[in-house]
A and B are shown apart, each in its own frame.
Chain A
Amino acid sequence: MSIFQMPTNAIKLMTLLFNGVLVSLQIFFLTLLFSLPLGLLTALGRMSSHKWISYPIRLYILIMRGTPLLLQLIFFYFAPFYMLPPGFRFSLPRFTAAIIAFSLNYAAYFAEIYRGGIESIPVGQYEAAAVLGFTRTQTFFKIILPQVVKRILPPISNEVITLVKDTALVQILGISELFRVAKNESSRIFSTTPLFAAGMFYLFLNWIVTKVFEKAEKKLSYYR
């Protein structure tokens, strides 16, 4: 091994992994983009007093939280083709299927976090708002939700950190995200270094996530 070979290999590996990170990050951000609002809607539906709204949503949450995300990925990729009658069959692109599965899965978890937060707000806050003449929408968005956000930041950060690592699951659909890239490279050069390097990438990403949430919590610490 010449003295110049090491850096070249290292740079090559980093470039390879970096491309994988970009794919992982796309999954990460798209999942958050869809699942955070969807989770809120799901939470509101789950709390609805109409059984024909809340029961199906409870079933949805049960399935999403009760089966492996890995299985859900496979389901959303293959089901549109294999479970529909001929003539209605279609195939989703792998990436789209992965985003749908992730968004629906994380929305279920976020929904329960939102629900816990919303239900922890004292009823007196609603009553004070009602007597002051705020509409229900105003009450929710001005009075309730800001307080909910502060309370749910810690459990949300847990989920977001898990999401960073869960992006590795999309390799089951053959998407070349960080982990798959590292694994393939590892087999090719017969070394565990790429896997270890991938681990460092995940750690680095979650260090950033942790910092972002620390900042957000600090920003909301102006009241108790």
Chain B
Amino acid sequence: MQILKVENLYKSFAGSGEVVTDVSFEINEGEVIAVIGPSGSGKSTLLRCLTLLERINHGTIKVAGETMVETTPQGRVVYASEEQLRKIRLRLGMVFQNFNLFPHFSVMRNITEAPIYVRGLSPAEAREEAEKLLAKIGLTDKADAYPYQLSGGQSQRVAIARALAMKPDILFFDEPTSALDPELTGEVLKVIRQLAAERMTMLVVTHEMAFARDVADRVIFMDKGQVVEEGTAEQIFGGPENERTRNFLRNFNANHKLD
């Protein structure tokens, strides 16, 4: 089943011009997509458009067959009704670079609050699900801790559990390890790998090339707001066809020789 379909998406900001230019791609259920590319290539903005944090200037986005936004032949961008968007939003999960945990809630409440007040679970049900998720990310003993007591890696794992508690159809990751100390990235990537093994549909914006190569079914290379090349991990990392992709990967490898 097709989870996400993006067609001819454009996004520009007043002042900084066009940030995403004519991007189209699809994600099917169970697929893991890695989006790679240099800083400022529009990867994060693309993700923010897909999760309704930004409004697009042109294009179509469909989530599980439902239209989130489309553009009329006259060029008018039409978003679905607020009620429809609320439903669509429930299908989308997002993990931020800076975690964005709620500092005044315990780890448990960070995970259970939305299931209780948005999905309508009873507190007991929400707690039960949260305990399973905490076991999955290996933080059962931190249920009553507050975010300030967690390391960056632990915070990001809790943020993943919080997103999973909403049972999204697709989970977006915006550079999930970029704010972490190098020695803490492993524990977060491990959780994402585990989700990939369970066939969770995911789109991961990342600078972790080794991880993208291992985990992604498909890789999208973006540069200057455009999708330059798209293919399987083997195609992109093994023999990229586009000059820009080759340059990016060559520079990247040169800079990360020691890794």
Contact A131 B102 (CB under 8 A): no
Q: Is B250 an interface residue (CB 8 A)?
A: no
Contact B104 A223 (CB under 8 A): yes
- State how many angstroms separate the Cβ of B137 from the closest Cβ of chain A: 17
B93 — which chain A residues lie within 8 A by C-beta? 131
> How extensive is the interface on chain B, given as a class?
20 to 34
Contact B100 A124 (CB under 8 A): yes
Please name the residue on chain A nearest to B118 by beta carbon. Answer: A133
* Overall SS of chain A's interface: helix
A132 — which chain B residues lie within 8 A by C-beta? 113-114, 118, 162-163, 166
Complex Cα–Cα for A124 and B162 (A): 15
**Surface stretch bound by B, among A58-66, A80-88, A140-148:** A140-148
Q: Is A125 an interface residue (CB 8 A)?
A: yes
**Surface stretch bound by A, among B84-92, B124-132, B184-192, B214-222:** B84-92
Q: Is B134 an interface residue (CB 8 A)?
A: no
In this complex, which of B90, B96, B101, B103 has the most chain A Cβ atoms within 10 angstroms of its Cβ? B103
Complex Cα–Cα for A130 and B82 (A): 13
Contact B146 A131 (CB under 8 A): no
Q: Is A213 an interface residue (CB 8 A)?
A: no
A122 — which chain B residues lie within 8 A by C-beta? 100
Complex Cα–Cα for A138 and B102 (A): 13
Contact B100 A134 (CB under 8 A): no
**A131 and B117 contact, Cβ closer than 8 Å, known pairs A125-B102, A147-B104, A223-B148:** no
A133 — which chain B residues lie within 8 A by C-beta? 86, 89-90, 114, 118-119, 166
Contact A131 B92 (CB under 8 A): yes
Contact A224 B103 (CB under 8 A): yes
Please name the residue on chain B nearest to A124 by beta carbon. Answer: B100
Please name the residue on chain A nearest to B87 by beta carbon. Answer: A133
Complex Cα–Cα for A124 and B174 (A): 12
Binary flags per residue of B172-199, CB closer than 8 Å to A gives 1, else 0: 0000000000000000000000000000
A131 — which chain B residues lie within 8 A by C-beta? 51-53, 89, 92-94, 163
Q: Is A190 an interface residue (CB 8 A)?
A: no
Residues in A lying within 8 Å of B, measured CB to CB: 122, 124-125, 127-134, 138, 142-143, 146-147, 150, 222-224
Residues in B lying within 8 Å of A, measured CB to CB: 51-53, 86, 89-90, 92-94, 96, 98, 100-104, 113-114, 117-119, 146-148, 162-163, 166
- 24 CB-based A-B contacts, threshold 8 Å: A122-B100, A124-B96, A124-B100, A125-B100, A125-B102, A127-B94, A128-B96, A128-B100, A128-B102, A130-B52, A130-B53, A131-B53, A131-B94, A132-B118, A132-B163, A132-B166, A133-B90, A133-B118, A133-B119, A134-B117, A142-B117, A146-B104, A147-B104, A223-B147
A sample of 13 more A-B contacts (CB under 8 A), given A128-B100, A133-B118, A134-B114, is A130-B52, A131-B52, A131-B94, A131-B163, A132-B114, A132-B162, A132-B166, A133-B89, A133-B90, A133-B119, A146-B104, A147-B104, A223-B148
A-B pairs, 9 with minimum CB distance: A128-B100, A124-B100, A132-B114, A133-B118, A224-B148, A131-B94, A223-B146, A146-B104, A223-B104
